[in-house]
Structure 1
């Protein structure tokens, strides 16, 4: 029997209507915000005098970019349709587009207007855009078969990225920024200064003093150069700045960590949005959020669900601040909602969690080069589009030098090597944490890797003290999935929270770096006649999303608890038998965590709680 830490619904990686555009052939690529109408088949009217097409690279994140073309009619007659053609260097491709039909033949690309944006009156202009991979610099531009004749012409490349800003003279309300100049073949005209991704100033030099800030608050600054043709280049790497005073953005050093996982797929069937953290009253009672999950592929950290993460337009009624997303804003989806949440509750820190049960298989390959792996993750977490959203990274490898969904045989030192590489890359000002096994059995998963040696590089461990037992053993015996302590008849010694915490302490992990895990769900069997633990079953009980699994918010009403064992509640109703934590058992577990001098607690995950956040409140009250 094995510990199945959070094996359940992590694999629900959804492709949605908004994301399927990325998978279509380029011959059918259409606007995300427009109609799917084909471009006109009639030959386009020649550009003639006064019609221009100008290219701008609006974003650059290393492996990819966002580009925009602007077609402007500066002549005296209307244009009834337009076609823009250009060549990209080998290896540069359009991956998704909007407001045009974009096709290609090898490295030659063609964009045609849609049915609704082809006509341009004198003086009018229209834009279309796309995301791409590669360098993103076009050449050989033609508009309706003629020269494009605009700034941003082939031969006039956009400026380079400026240097990362350096912060100095930080006060309660101001900061001074300096950066190394960008380069451009025809000269740099000025720089846009971006605070938390929004432009706050345009300056001609390489310095700027920002003021009017809030004391004790985190800010992220980056800069972007503009050349004499008004093209903007890639955004610089961001620098994080915290103003002085104000008591700081997070909990006091003596406070306990109260962390919850928010799943990107939860916005689909579960309809649990970032706003629900506010409406449930939980935002005031937590200190940290782990955003789950990013993937680990090809030795690198990668996006988990682009549509949910940063592309989905969130309507006003589901938005944290009551303001809906627009089609053209640079960041949407959960990331933008987390940004809004942090603005409203500045004490909350957000970490991006990578891996999980389903996506842990990529860690083995990634750890063949720990420094390169850490660098790839840093670049993704600190992407200028959302650098201000995240305060660090959580690594959820299930399990180093052991087996989960897949098996790893990298050796016991691999955990220490990983955490050391990530601390070196992310530095002291970012949080670096890990979700780890709670298998405290002799020769079990805690013994398989050097968690003690890795602890010096980690801010804390999320010890997954749940899923010890469940209906993957279909015939039973029925036992609590998250026992706090040993109990008579326990099927495997060491499979309880107290054993796991004791073993980690014995290996040199400081108590303050251990968080106790709480599951906001139950595990259950059916075909059970015995009320007490240890009964036989015929299989997993029916659940809303998967057999043998159900949210607390459902179980509290459908199968109320009628007993406790090893600090965890259980319920026998009809022929079903469930175990889960209640507000009462959670408060007792929090009291135990304080007795053990643990750093706090975390839970999986927000959407299992009630609409009033009663389990989050139990953690909050219990850790006071």
Structure 2
């Protein structure tokens, strides 16, 4: 099944690959604040650790919310972005059971037994909230510092953003619908599930994943020259309505914050690496005033749909896309360093039929490499097994902060713990806001990559 979301840098030239459909940024051209979270309270500074949880991962991958607890990952996160919420042709946030468009069954209808539940208690037939949403609520009960964000859009579901943001009236209606559905938690009734306030207090903010304002994204995604202006206004409308709801007191009552100061709702976005896409869609100084932080695309610099192998997530790369170049491009356009969260992949891009010899990088390739879920796209946990198999050789460019596997025919470019340690040192050295990961289901059962990032940011 084709799933929403990507945003790579090079897919446009090479043709959209199936792998691109899997990440929150993976297609054509590459396109937070100081909150404390979990066990990091009291540390200085408190770097953000933002992980994306995919709605559809509970099916074939069988990656459940509970796995974030058993792996130890939940205790290391500050933010969990639930991916994704969709926008309909009327410019409103919506859910339901619409194949390819919405999955209320996964979100809040699907019952879990005691073995699959975070708190060890099975869902009952009469409870209003089940599915992933209820498990996330249970996860937050165990980790009060964890913030859960609803991520809107993604590669495949950015179709109607431009329409929704086009006028002041449409922006107001769009934002209001998203707040009603996710922040107020007013879910459509589905049997005994849902209803007014069923998910109240679950989501702590909104992550905007519009790919891309002002420039091409997925084949059916509308874009216009005026998107840049409208995106700025849309972000401000989200900030305005979120703040107004927080100040109304309703948020505190529904979230159990009686007698405390008004709740602050975080507002973030997934943003591109391509300078052309940045300039086409982002008035950086203005939008950064309203964002608590933004998640920088730090991967899919090159993808398996291309005809030549190349690094997908190097920290440095002379004359090419890289993590450092992305950071510098946002800084020079006026973004504060403390609001820049560097994206890191928990997966790899791969090619097969590689010729030309050497270490395989920069060589012609015949096709995307065979993989578990989609050709050319493989989870880190599977690539780790390849690295340990003895068939593949691990190659590194320590200076550039990159790694890849090559067996003479098939090449995978990916991040492993050593690369992530280099990247976390970079985040500390440049006083950035933290690290983001797409996506949490690619990590090992014991959260090896998450642990590497956590230790790197904590200097442990």
User: What range describes the TM-score normalised by the shorter chain of this pair?
Assistant: 0.7 to 0.9
Match 2:176 to one of 375, 392, 396? 375
| Closer, same or farther: CA 247–367 of 1 in aligned 2, 3 Å | closer
Q: What is the CA distance between 1:399 and its match in structure 2? A: 0.4
Q: Give distance in 1, aligned partners of 2:121 and 2:91.
A: 38
Aligned to 2:267: 432
Moved more, 445-454 or 325-334: 445-454
Q: Give distance in 1, aligned partners of 2:10 and 2:433.
A: 23
Provide Cα deviations, 1:440-480, integer angstroms capped at 9, x if missing partner: 3xxx111112133201000000111100101111x21x111
Q: Which runs of 5+ in 2 are unaligned?
A: 1-7, 13-18, 25-35, 96-101, 186-196, 247-263
Q: Give distance in 1, aligned partners of 2:174 and 2:181.
A: 11
Aligned to 1:541: 369
| Closer, same or farther: CA 323–291 of 1 in aligned 2, 3 Å | same
Q: What is the CA distance between 1:330 and its match in structure 2? A: 1.0
Q: Please give the TM-score of this superposition, normalised by the length of structure 2.
A: 0.79
Aligned to 1:387: 200
Aligned to 1:289: 80
The answer to whether the 8 A contact 1:460-1:514 is kept is yes
Q: Give distance in 2, aligned partners of 1:582 and 1:10.
A: 18
Q: What is the CA distance between 1:329 and its match in structure 2? A: 1.0
Q: Which structure is higher in strand share? A: 1
| Closer, same or farther: CA 614–248 of 1 in aligned 2, 3 Å | closer
Aligned to 1:514: 340
Aligned to 1:401: 214
Aligned to 1:241: none
Matched ranges for 1:474-485 at <5 A: 475-476=307-308, 478-485=309-316
Match 1:255 to one of 21, 42, 46? 46
Match 1:269 to one of 60, 76, 82? 60
Aligned to 2:15: none
| Closer, same or farther: CA 604–248 of 1 in aligned 2, 3 Å | closer
| Closer, same or farther: CA 542–247 of 1 in aligned 2, 3 Å | closer
Aligned to 1:590: 424
Aligned to 1:416: 232
Aligned to 1:613: 447
Q: Give distance in 2, aligned partners of 1:421 and 1:395.
A: 12
Where relative contact order (Cα < 8 A, 6+ residues apart) is larger, the structure is: 2
| Closer, same or farther: CA 250–387 of 1 in aligned 2, 3 Å | farther
Q: What is the CA distance between 1:559 and its match in structure 2? A: 4.0
Match 1:318 to one of 110, 113, 116? 116
Q: What is the CA distance between 1:347 and its match in structure 2? A: 1.3
Aligned to 2:351: 525
Matched ranges for 1:208-247 at <5 A: none
Provide Cα deviations, 1:354-399, integer angstroms capped at 9, x if missing partner: 1000001110111022121111111111221112111011110000
Aligned to 1:459: 292
The answer to whether the 8 A contact 1:415-1:451 is kept is no
Q: Give distance in 1, aligned partners of 2:23 and 2:360.
A: 30
Q: What is the CA distance between 1:305 and its match in structure 2? A: 1.2
Q: What is the CA distance between 1:404 and its match in structure 2? A: 1.1
Aligned to 1:149: none
Aligned to 1:447: 279
Structure 2 SS opposite 1:607:
helix
Q: Please give the TM-score of this superposition, normalised by the length of structure 1.
A: 0.59
| Closer, same or farther: CA 378–278 of 1 in aligned 2, 3 Å | same
Q: Give distance in 1, aligned partners of 2:377 and 2:41.
A: 34
Q: Give distance in 2, aligned partners of 1:3 and 1:347.
A: 37
| Closer, same or farther: CA 310–247 of 1 in aligned 2, 3 Å | closer
2:383 counterpart of 1:555: yes
The answer to whether the 8 A contact 1:308-1:334 is kept is yes
Which of structures 1 and 2 has the bigger CA Rg?
1
Match 2:91 to one of 299, 312, 318? 299
Aligned to 1:504: 330
Q: Give distance in 2, aligned partners of 1:549 and 1:426.
A: 36
Q: Give distance in 1, aligned partners of 2:91 and 2:348.
A: 35
Q: Give distance in 2, aligned partners of 1:247 and 1:501.
A: 24
Q: What is the CA distance between 1:325 and its match in structure 2? A: 0.6
Q: What is the CA distance between 1:288 and its match in structure 2? A: 0.9
Instruction: Tell me how large the CA RMSD over aligned residues is.
Output: 2.1
Match 1:328 to one of 122, 126, 134? 126
The answer to whether the 8 A contact 2:341-2:436 is kept is yes
Q: Give distance in 2, aligned partners of 1:387 and 1:527.
A: 51
**Count of aligned positions:** 380
Matched ranges for 1:327-366 at <5 A: 327-366=125-164
Q: What is the CA distance between 1:247 and its match in structure 2? A: 10
Provide Cα deviations, 1:77-124, integer angstroms capped at 9, x if missing partner: xxxxxxxxxxxxxxxxxxxxxxxxxxxxxxxxxxxxxxxxxxxxxxxx
Provide Cα deviations, 1:187-208, integer angstroms capped at 9, x if missing partner: xxxxxxxxxxxxxxxxxxxxxx
Q: What is the CA distance between 1:4 and its match in structure 2? A: 5.2
Provide Cα deviations, 1:259-291, integer angstroms capped at 9, x if missing partner: 100011010000000000011111111111000
Q: Which runs of 5+ in 1 are unaligned?
A: 12-245
Provide Cα deviations, 1:164-202, integer angstroms capped at 9, x if missing partner: xxxxxxxxxxxxxxxxxxxxxxxxxxxxxxxxxxxxxxx
Structure 2 SS opposite 1:385:
coil
| Closer, same or farther: CA 410–418 of 1 in aligned 2, 3 Å | farther
Q: Which structure is higher in helix share? A: 2
| Closer, same or farther: CA 544–249 of 1 in aligned 2, 3 Å | closer
